[in-house]
């Protein structure tokens, strides 16, 4: 596997803005111990900056009130204090601290803030390459994922089932499909 610098070498120096039209921020969490609820955040932004020395950095923001699980009652509960508390914490943020090679993929380390709690996380990252685009400049593609414990971020509501287990699992998988546009 090539070094993390090879990602930056393949990704030209400069700033790449996340294209929300061609990107997604999704999640899944165990429900009733037997299935998963999936959702996404409809509003997010971010940038990847590659310095002259080839060092990449990533910053991103997610409007947590844009949560969408295709169920308005559930979405309203997720926005409430039991879960995201969007009235007091409307934005989740990520700021990278390092990128490193790990076998056939990369790891993007950074600080993630959700519901006012900041913790270091490590996303598994795949760099899908660069394309000349369709007349609007170069485009780069990435896929990333991480499994978080919701309780680590103050989302500690317990909803136990009479038969054991919980209505909502503790582990949440975050999945990112990112297309970024080279800025002039």
5, pLDDT greater than 70: no
Least confident of 2-6, 123-127, 153-157, 166-170: 2-6
- Out of 3.80.10.10, 2.140.10.10, 3.20.20.210, 2.40.128.110, select the CATH number for domain 4-182: 2.40.128.110
Query: What are the helix (H) ranges across the chain?
Result: 4-10, 72-79
Note the pTM of the prediction, 2 decimals: 0.89
Percentages helix, strand, coil for the chain (3-state, rounded to 5) are 15, 55, 30
Task: Look over the chain and give the mean of its residue pLDDT values, rounded to a whole number.
Answer: 89
More confident residue, 163 or 150: 150
Q: What are the extents of the domains in the chain?
A: 4-182
- The pLDDT of residue 133 is 82
User: How is residue 162 annotated by DSSP?
Assistant: T
């Amino acid at each position: 596997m090539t070094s993390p610098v090879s990602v930056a070498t393949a990704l030209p120096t400069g700033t790449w803005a996340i294209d929300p039209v061609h990107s997604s921020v999704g999640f899944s969490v165990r429900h009733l111990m037997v299935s998963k609820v999936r959702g996404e955040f409809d509003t997010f932004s971010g940038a990847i900056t590659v310095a002259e020395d080839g060092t990449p950095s990533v910053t991103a923001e997610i409007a947590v009130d844009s949560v969408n699980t295709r169920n308005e009652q559930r979405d309203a509960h997720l926005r409430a204090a039991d879960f995201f508390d969007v009235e007091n914490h409307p934005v989740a943020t990520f700021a990278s601290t390092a990128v490193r090679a790990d076998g056939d993929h990369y790891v993007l380390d950074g600080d993630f803030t959700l519901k006012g709690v900041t913790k270091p996380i490590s996303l598994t990252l795949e760099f899908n390459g660069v394309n000349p685009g369709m007349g609007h400049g170069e485009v780069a593609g990435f896929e990333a994922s991480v499994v978080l414990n919701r309780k680590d971020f103050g989302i500690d509501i317990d909803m136990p089932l009479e038969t054991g287990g919980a209505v909502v699992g503790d582990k949440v998988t975050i999945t990112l499909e990112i297309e970024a546009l080279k800025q002039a």
